[in-house]
Each structure stands twice: as structure tokens, then as C-alpha cells.
Amino acid sequence: MSKQFICPLPWLHLSVAPDGTQRVCCHADKNHLIIDGNKTVSFFDKESKKSISNNSFYKHLRTQMLNGEVPKACETCFKQESIGGYSPRLDYLESYPDVEFKSNSSLDIKSLDLCLGNKCNLECRMCSPLFSNRLSKTFDTLNINYNKKSSQLAESLWNSKEFPWEVMNDLTELELIYFQGGEPLISNLHKEILKKLIATGKASSISLEYSTNLTVLNSELIELWSHFKHVQLFVSIDGVGKFAEYIRYPLRWDEFENNLKSLIGTKLSINFATTLQAYNYKHIPDLLLYLNNFKDHFGVIPEPTHVQYPNFLSVNALPQPEIDKSTEEIIKVLDSLTPTTKRCHKNLKSFHSSLKNIKTDKNLYIPFTAYTRKLDVIRSESFDSLAD
């Protein structure tokens, strides 16, 4: 059958946002959460798995795909493909080639994406309170709008007492857990989940993946990971040295770099993710060259993502000549790199499509500079003197 409009995820995947709401996947449009009747489904509802399997929203989504329609929630992937880019959908089709695509089949959850709330030890400039509790205060001080109810839920829900262990136990087909956050490596609940999977003998058939800022790495984590089938880290990195410290406040570059180097020679698979934004676009060539030093050990071409919110931090906030000059320099460096893994090949393709047609939006420049100055004052930093 043609898989032109199919993504396997609605047949096998569950994705949980920091506030417990469920979505088709973490790339899906944020306005299209899973609903049951007119109620948003939460992972913390004891009925969560049952309501998802028989859920009419999910069935409709599958039918749309089988009928050759693009579901609204999945437009991001199809848009990326329409400009010649690689999309998560294509990646998932490769990972799950044998799914039986029927509109009425039940959801056998093989893959679980858990954003374990919003507890984080950093407050990155482009992030928001839904993902970092530390940013709530900053957003309040700077009078920036955000969803307070979701952020509060993200802060209060993710503890051992509230966690729906029975839903988790029901996931007998589980092969992969993707932990995000907040920062998953500082979450005690995350360690508790791993310990339970080890104690029940499930760990050896489950792979783990993480999106992490890699500021905290210790022997306890390494020991826990050793029980699992495979562990892969997607390390977030947006700049080198002082640029990383400026964006990922209050990261210490030397600590981050030590953690990264300590992963050389381990069995873990290491890849990178980079958020392209007004703060780092000019410095992406230096970041690519820095990462390339690790090419014998890690997948060094990062997966690029454009900043989504706030939009005044997007690359589009920069003047067009600056965008064009940096794009040209990034392409020059990309052309000099040799992808060593399949994922690096894909990321290289994604990078090229992410760089296409970036147009300045003059309305963004003033909010970008105003936000930057205010945050600089709060943090005693200076974007202008960063390049010196």
C-alpha cells in the first residue's frame, strides 16, 4: 500500500506533554491534543490507555491517513516534506516498516514519549515555563504571556503518588521510552520508573531515549541504564563556550563539556539537537565544527529545529543580509562534513531544508532586542558584548 499519507505513530505511539495532556506526537500541532468526546485526555486519568485505544479522535486520524488526507495535527511533517525536507514521519516509517495499517485496529503502544513535567535546572532563553519551572518567574517579571494552568500542572503532577503506575503496567508491548522534560536526568520519578522496569524484568527488552541538557550525569544513572536494551541521548546544544552559557543559563560550559567527554567509549549512542534561533544563527558554523571533533565517537551532525515560541527569538528576527550571510556560511561548513551515521545523513538533509527561504520579519526585531535587553539586565549579561 502507498504510505504517502501514513505515519505509523497513531497505531503505536503515545506522547504525553509536561501537563499530562496527550498528543499524537511531540512534533504535532500543539492545538490538536487528543480528546475523548469534548474532554482532553490526560495520561494521569486512570482510564487513559483504554480511552486512547477506543478513542474516536484517534480512529478518525487513522481513517484520514488511510483516505489520503493530511490530519491537521500532522501538518508540520507534511509541510517539511513539501519543501523537500526530511520529516519525523519518514523516520518513523523506516523504524516501523511492518505495522498493519487499519483504521479500526487498536493502539498497541510500543513507543511512549514522556515529558516528565517542567522541573529543570536551566532557564534557556528560548524555552518557556511549560518546560522549565524556573522560567515562570522570569516570564511574570517580563510580563510575557504563557499558560499558567499548564505550567502549574506540569510542576505538580509528576510525582510517584500521582503517577498512573497501573497505566504503565498495562503497556505490555512497550519497546521504547523517550524521556523529555523539563530535564529528565534530574527527575527522581524518572529514576523510579527505571527501577520499576528493572525490578519487573522488563528493562532488557526496552530501549531508552532522552532529550537532555547533559548538565547532570552520575554513576547511578549509568548503572540504571546498563540494564536496558539500548540507551540513546539527544544532547541539546545551541552554541560553544560562552554562547552556550548565554543561551542555556546558568549552564557551566566546562561541566557540560566534561560530561560530554565522559561519554566517549561508553555503549550509549550520542546524538545532538540544536535549536536555531536569533541568538545562535551566526555561530552555527562554529558549533558544527566543534561537534565535528567528536566524529569518531558520536553522531555529530545535530538535528536542527527552529524556535517555535516566542517567535521574536526566531532567526526571522534578524536582518535579511545577516540571515543570508550566515546561511551561506552554514552551508559551506555543512558541505565540508562527512556524515558517518544514517541519522547524520538525515540531519544533514533536515539542516539543508531548515535553511531554505528564511525571510526577515521586521516586526520581530524590536521585541527581540527589547526582550534581550530586559533579560540581560536580570541576568547581568550582555548580548552585544558577547561577540567581543
Ligand X SMILES: C[S@@+](CC[C@H](N)C(=O)[O-])C[C@H]1O[C@@H](n2cnc3c(N)ncnc32)[C@H](O)[C@@H]1O
Phi/psi-derived region of residue 255, left when phi > 0, alpha when psi is between -120 and 50, beta in every other case: alpha
Only segment of 70-78, 158-166, 210-218, 375-383 that touches ligand X (CB under 6 A) = 210-218
**Contacted entry of ligand SF4, ligand X, none for residue 179, CB cut-off 5 to 8 Å set by kind:** none
Nearer to ligand X, 263 or 307 (CB): 307
φ, ψ for residue 97 (rounded to 5)? Answer: -80, -15
Binding to ligand SF4 by residue 238, rule CB under 6 A?
A: no
Find which of ligand SF4, ligand X, none residue 123 binds, CB within 5 to 8 Å per kind. Answer: ligand SF4
Query: In sequence order, what are the beta bridge partners of 112?
Result: 14, 177
Burial code (b: 16+ CB inside 10 Å, e: under 16) for 134-160 equals bbbebbeeeeeebeeebbebbbebbee
Contact between 87 and 77 under an 8 Å Cβ cutoff? The reply is: yes
What is the x/- site pattern for ligand X, positions 71-100, by CB under 6 A? ------------------------------
The whole-angstrom distance between residue 386's C-alpha and the CA centroid of its chain comes to 27
The C-alpha atoms of residue 226 and residue 359 are separated, in whole angstroms, by 46
> Pick from 230, 217, 48, 236: which is nearest to 131 by CA?
236
> Is 180 near ligand X (CB under 6 A)?
yes
Min dist. Cβ of residue 161 to ligand SF4 (A): 23
Instruction: Verify binding: residue 86, ligand SF4, rule CB under 6 A.
Output: no
Out of 120, 130, 171, 224, name the contact with ligand SF4 by CB under 6 A: 120
The set of cell numbers assigned to 128 is 518557556
Q: Which of residues 167-196 bind ligand SF4 (CB under 6 A)?
A: 181-183
Cα(11)–Cα(105) distance, integer angstroms: 8
Nearer to ligand SF4, 71 or 181 (CB): 181
Binding site for ligand SF4 (CB under 6 A): 120, 122-124, 127, 131-132, 181-183, 213, 248
Binding site for ligand X (CB under 6 A): 120, 124, 126-127, 131, 180-181, 183, 211-213, 236, 273, 275, 305, 307-309
